Structure 1
């Protein structure tokens, strides 16, 4: 019984996350075709490549992406640089200053636009809880 409760709790936590990291070992899964569209992200030469997939399982096994974000890629700003799961856990950021706008995920309910915060670089933005991505320059007013 305890194992069932633990499994259901873990399943709920995974389902409620906006960002999901793909296995790094290149595992291939048997995936359903149940649509729950995600934006798959992979890095190539320091740039993020974004592609919409039917679901996270297909993105991770077929698309060979590093992580997924709920929703179609087109649902987000084109210039969005998503925070990877590893960037969320960085302890210390380099001192390089390159002004960024850090955008919050849907869990943060903002009263005014933009639902974002000015930060000194992508690293410092991604460390903030519920920041989903950054864009170049200062946040719009």
Structure 2
């Protein structure tokens, strides 16, 4: 019974996951040609992000320039979207500066009225909110 519960929990986590980190250990990945588009993200030192669409997670990560991927084509997200990295999503503490950001939730959150978003005082606070996928600077639009 315990094994079934653990397996069910892993399956739920797999379906809920929208962001996947790329391996950083330098291992080579053998990729198959499978169409499951992802948006590959690389962060620059100035805080900007380079976003590029790839056929799948494996191909995106195998080139060595992508830190993590997000489900779907980059073009399917707003141009001003800044994705929350896995590390930002797990932040335990944030500064208190006021720089409002609107955080948009991933597909696991069901909203009655779009947009499915939350407004927070800064980007760190927004990204560390559970299930926030990306942020846009400023107040949420209705």
**Does the pair score TM above 0.5?**
yes
Deviations 1:76-97 (A, max 9, x none): 1110010100111110001121
Unaligned runs of 5+ in 2: none
Shift of 1:7: 8.0
1:36 maps to what in 2?
36
Deviations 1:100-132 (A, max 9, x none): 001111111111121111101111011111110
Q: What are the equivalent positions in structure 2 for 1:94-113 lying under 5 Å apart? A: 94-113=95-114
1:130 and 2:131 matched: yes
2:122 maps to what in 1?
121
**2: distance between equivalents of 1:114 and 1:9?**
28
- SS at the partner of 2:89? helix
2:74 maps to what in 1?
73
Q: Structure 1's 16 and 113: CA in aligned 2 closer, same or farther, altered over 3 A?
A: closer
- SS at the partner of 1:86? helix
**1: distance between equivalents of 2:98 and 2:59?**
37
Scaled by the length of structure 2, the TM-score of the pair is 0.88
Unaligned runs of 5+ in 1: none
Shift of 1:6: 7.0
Q: In the alignment, is the contact (CA less than 8 A) between 2:16 and 2:107 conserved in 1?
A: no
Deviations 1:37-85 (A, max 9, x none): 0000001232110000000011011252010000000011110010100
Q: C-alpha root-mean-square deviation of aligned residues, in Å?
A: 2.2
Scaled by the length of structure 1, the TM-score of the pair is 0.88
Paired residues in the alignment total 139
Shift of 1:10: 4.7
Shift of 1:14: 3.5
